[in-house]
A and B are shown apart, each in its own frame.
Chain A
Amino acid sequence: NAGVTQTPKFRVLKTGQSMTLLCAQDMNHEYMYWYRQDPGMGLRLIHYSVGEGTTAKGEVPDGYNVSRLKKQNFLLGLESAAPSQTSVYFCASSWTGDHEQYFGPGTRLTVT
């Protein structure tokens, strides 16, 4: 099992550009999450999904969109990147909201 994988590992964008981050899990988990991690701050939830076809806003959803068309994939989109979105992005998955979350290796995004 690969667990949770993220693509790409690194990316540099110019302000205003768009991109999509891909998260994939092979554990048949229902719940999937997107977090961002910034220096000196805890992980903050951007969006999450409790099953295929569902999405919900987390703590810091502005400027991001998500889609969960397939159970194993959770996509995070930035339509018009801003320097404030420079961060490390982590995807995670779990059986339910009460179960252990398994995290991916992260995507380091820089917006110039």
Chain B
Amino acid sequence: KNQVEQSPQSLIILEGKNCTLQCNYTVSPFSNLRWYKQDTGRGPVSLTIMTFSENTKSNGRYTATLDADTKQSSLHITASQLSDSASYICVVSRNSGNTPLVFGKGTRLSVIA
């Protein structure tokens, strides 16, 4: 079954600290893996897209890693800010079938002062 599992479900960190969010997937065939940020009450916004051959990709203070062999990805946030408070969603693209994207349920991150 095509699934994307994210952990933890929720996380609270102090402003300025780093954190890492995890994503494990069992999706086939694999096309690419995406991380989205979704602020409360808004639509998701893309942070990174990684193909099979990419191990790491950065977008400012966000760094995503991908291990296609173990089917794991992580999103590392450096020097967190209050504005990082959001849900982070891991998405794997199959680019086929009637569910071309398989979405994780997200990790809810709260950054507090």
Decide if A100 is an interface residue (CB 8 Å cutoff). Answer: yes
Tell me whether chain A's interface is mostly helix, strand or loop, or mixed. loop
**B window 38-53: CB within 8 A of A:** 41-46, 49
For the complex formed, measure the closest distance between the CB of B17 and the CB atoms of chain A, giving whole angstroms. 27
- Cβ A97 vs Cβ B93 within 8 A: yes
A57 contact set on B, CB distance < 8 A? 98
Contact A56–B98 (Cβ < 8 Å): yes
A residues less than 8 Å from B42 (CB atoms):
105-106
Number of B interface residues, CB 8 Å? 22
Residue of A nearest to B48 (CB): A100
Instruction: Determine whether A34 belongs to the interface, using a CB cutoff of 8 Å to chain B.
Output: no
List which A1-54 residues lie within 8 A (CB) of chain B: 4, 40-45, 48
Contact with A along B79-113 (1 / 0, CB 8 A): 00000000001000101001111011110000000
Is there a chain A Cβ closer than 8 Å to B7's Cβ?
no
Could you mark each residue 80-112 of chain A with 1 if its beta carbon is under 8 Å from any beta carbon of chain B, else 0?
000000000010100001101111111000000
Chain A CB within 8 A of B22 CB: no
Q: Check: A77 CB closer than 8 A to any chain B CB.
A: no
Bound form: Cα–Cα A57–B45 in Å? 24
Chain A count of residues within 8 A CB distance of the other chain: 23
Q: Could you tell me if B45 and A45 are in contact, using CB atoms closer than 8 angstroms?
A: no
B63 neighbours in A (Cβ, 8 Å): none
Whether B105 pairs with A98 at a CB distance below 8 angstroms is no
Query: Told that A45-B101, A57-B98 touch, could you supply 5 new A-B pairs with CB distance under 8 A?
Result: A43-B89, A59-B99, A97-B31, A101-B101, A106-B43
CB distance from A29 to the nearest CB of B (A): 14
Contacts of A100 in B (CB 8 A): 34, 46, 49
> B21 in the interface, Cβ–Cβ < 8 Å?
no
Docked-complex contact A42 and B104, CB < 8 angstroms: yes
CB distance from B22 to the nearest CB of A (A): 15
Given A56-B98, A100-B49; A44-B103 close (CB under 8 Å) = yes
* B26 at interface by CB-CB < 8 Å: no
Q: Provide 15 A-B residue pairs closer than 8 Å at the C-beta atoms, listed in order of the A residue.
A: A42-B105, A45-B98, A45-B100, A45-B101, A56-B98, A58-B98, A59-B98, A90-B43, A90-B44, A98-B32, A100-B46, A100-B49, A101-B46, A102-B46, A103-B43
